[in-house]
Amino acid sequence: GGRGSTQSDMLQVRMRLSLQDHLWEFYQNNVNIPTQEQAMARKAALDICAELRVFLHAKLPDMPLREMYLSGSLYDDLQVVTADHAQLMVPLILEKNLWSSIPGEDTIMNVPGFWLVRRENLEYFPRNSSYWDRCMVGGYLSPKSVLEVFDKLVAGSINWPAIGSVLDYIIRPVVPSETLTLEIQYEMDRKLYVDFLPLLVMEDGTSLIAKPHRLVAERHENLWRQSFRVADTARLRALDQEDGGCRCTCLKVAKAVSKLNPALNQLNASQLTNAILLLSEKEGDWTQEALADRFLQLLRALVGHLEAGRLPCALNPKVNLFCELTEQEVDELGYTLYCALSDPESLLRT
Give the span between the Cα atoms of 295 and 26, in whole angstroms: 13
Q: Which residue number, 119 or 229, has a Cβ lying nearer to ligand GDP?
A: 229
Give residues 123-152 in contact with ligand GDP (rule: CB under 6 A).
none
In the complex, the smallest distance separating the C-beta of residue 297 from ligand GDP, rounded to whole angstroms, is: 21
- For residue 350, the tally of other CB atoms under 10 A from its CB is 11
Q: Which residue number, 30 or 121, has a Cβ lying nearer to ligand GDP?
A: 30
Of the candidates 263, 221, 261, the one whose C-alpha atom is nearest the C-alpha of residue 81 is 261
Give residues 227-246 in contact with ligand GDP (rule: CB under 6 A).
227, 229-230
Counting residues that bind ligand GDP (by CB under 6 A) gives: 15
In the complex, the smallest distance separating the C-beta of residue 83 from ligand GDP, rounded to whole angstroms, is: 10
Give residues 193-222 in contact with ligand GDP (rule: CB under 6 A).
197, 209, 211
Give the span between the Cα atoms of 350 and 337, in whole angstroms: 16
User: Which one of residues 32, 87, 101, 249 is an interface residue with ligand GDP (CB under 6 A)?
Assistant: 87
- With a CB cutoff of 8 Å and minimum separation 6, the contacts of 267 are 254, 258, 302, 333
In degrees to the nearest 10, what's the CA dihedral of 104, 108, 110, 116? -10
For residue 336, the number of C-alpha atoms closer than 13 Å in the C-beta half-sphere is 17
Q: Is 294 in the site for ligand GDP (CB under 6 A)?
A: no
- With a CB cutoff of 8 Å and minimum separation 6, the contacts of 318 are 105, 112, 113, 312
Q: Which residue number, 73 or 261, has a Cβ lying nearer to ligand GDP?
A: 73
Q: Is 113 in the site for ligand GDP (CB under 6 A)?
A: no
In the complex, the smallest distance separating the C-beta of residue 226 from ligand GDP, rounded to whole angstroms, is: 9
Q: Is 79 in the site for ligand GDP (CB under 6 A)?
A: yes
User: Which one of residues 19, 48, 72, 208 is an interface residue with ligand GDP (CB under 6 A)?
Assistant: 72
Q: Which residue number, 90 or 303, has a Cβ lying nearer to ligand GDP?
A: 90
Q: Is 93 left (phi over 0), alpha (psi -120 to 50) or beta?
A: beta
- Please identify, among the stretches 3-11, 67-75, 93-101, 244-252, the one whose residues bind ligand GDP according to the rule CB under 6 A: 67-75
Q: Which residue number, 87 or 261, has a Cβ lying nearer to ligand GDP?
A: 87
Give the span between the Cα atoms of 40 and 189, in whole angstroms: 13
Give the span between the Cα atoms of 280 and 78, in whole angstroms: 18
DSSP 198-229: EEEE-TTS-EEE----SS--GGGTTPEEE--H
Of the candidates 190, 183, 250, the one whose C-alpha atom is nearest the C-alpha of residue 34 is 190
In the complex, the smallest distance separating the C-beta of residue 63 from ligand GDP, rounded to whole angstroms, is: 21
Beta strands in the chain (DSSP E): 69-71, 85-91, 99-103, 114-119, 136-137, 140-141, 170-173, 180-187, 190-201, 207-209, 224-226, 312-313, 316-320
Binding mask 243-272 for ligand GDP (x = CB under 6 A): ------------x-------------x---
In the complex, the smallest distance separating the C-beta of residue 11 from ligand GDP, rounded to whole angstroms, is: 35
Binding mask 157-196 for ligand GDP (x = CB under 6 A): ----------------------------------------
List interacting residues with ligand GDP (CB under 6 A): 71-73, 78-79, 85, 87, 197, 209, 211, 227, 229-230, 255, 269
